[in-house]
Amino acid sequence: MFVAANAALFAFTHDMTRIGDTSLRRNVIVDWATYGFPISEVGEWWRLATGAFLHADIRHLILNLIMFFLLGKRLERQIGSALFGAVCLNSMLWGSAGALVAAPNTAVVGASGIVYGIMASVYVVERLSGRDPWSEGLGTLIVINVVLSFVVPGISVGGHLGGLVGGLLAGWVAGDQRRRSPIRVWILLPLLGICGFTFGLIAAARWIDPLF
């Protein structure tokens, strides 16, 4: 569903005559990207979510959707659809918060925060179940992607690391089967989401005087 929604939105939000280039329409960036000023001064809190459904170009979209599909399928199989959705939501909110902490004056788009959160969640869930994620290359994949976040220009480092932290925490709550109870899980996961949302609002409010 997420993959289909992103693919459909791509068609509606891009100049299809410029596929292969930065084709995202400027008015879409202005109206929906994750960006500090409109969140803080105009009250457009929904930008903490909408930016995650936009992508700069076709390469950005394809890379994120491939990673989401492969890792998401793996995680959903382990914890179930409901908890998987909660992990994605938390990763999105924490990714947006991280992007705003690092660069509140930069318009950020992309589902990378969700993807990084899923990576972290798979790692935690498999560790808690007694498996070794490093033996299957997951640990290496995370390290490589974190390094690339700092090396490749134009990437939201804060968005990637924020999503990673959100996914790590949500994965710990959802994947610890020894202490998993409906009450514990469905109290802690919403609290994590509220924290991510709140951090995002606080970071957006610092658009004049960024934290970093």
Q: What is the pLDDT of residue 178?
A: 64
Binned at pLDDT 50, 70 and 90, residue 104 comes out as very high
Cα separation, 92 vs 196, whole angstroms: 9
Task: Map out the domains of the chain as residue ranges.
Answer: 2-204
Is 3.30.470.10 the CATH number for 2-204? no
Alpha helix (H) ranges present in 14-156? 26-32, 36-41, 47-50, 58-79, 81-102, 112-128, 138-151
Q: How far is CA 177 from the centre of its chain?
A: 24
CA distance 23 to 10: 10
The predicted-structure confidence for 33-52, as pLDDT tens digits, reads as follows: 999 999 999 999 999 999 99
Q: Give the pLDDT confidence score for residue 210 in this predicted structure.
A: 85
Q: Render pLDDT for 154-210 as a digit per residue (tens, 0 to 9).
A: 899 999 999 999 999 999 998 866 666 788 888 999 999 999 999 999 999 999 888
How many Cα atoms sit within 13 Å of 129 on the Cβ side? 15
- pLDDT surpasses 80 at 72: yes
- What pLDDT score does 87 carry? 96
Percentage of the chain beyond pLDDT 90 is: 70
pLDDT at 153: 87
Task: Tell whether the model's pLDDT for residue 21 goes beyond 90.
Answer: no
Rounded Cα distance, 25 and 2, in Å: 21
- The pLDDT tens digits of the residues spanning 122-166 come to 999 999 888 888 988 899 999 999 999 999 888 999 999 999 999
pLDDT of res. 180: 66
Q: What's residue 131's pLDDT?
A: 87
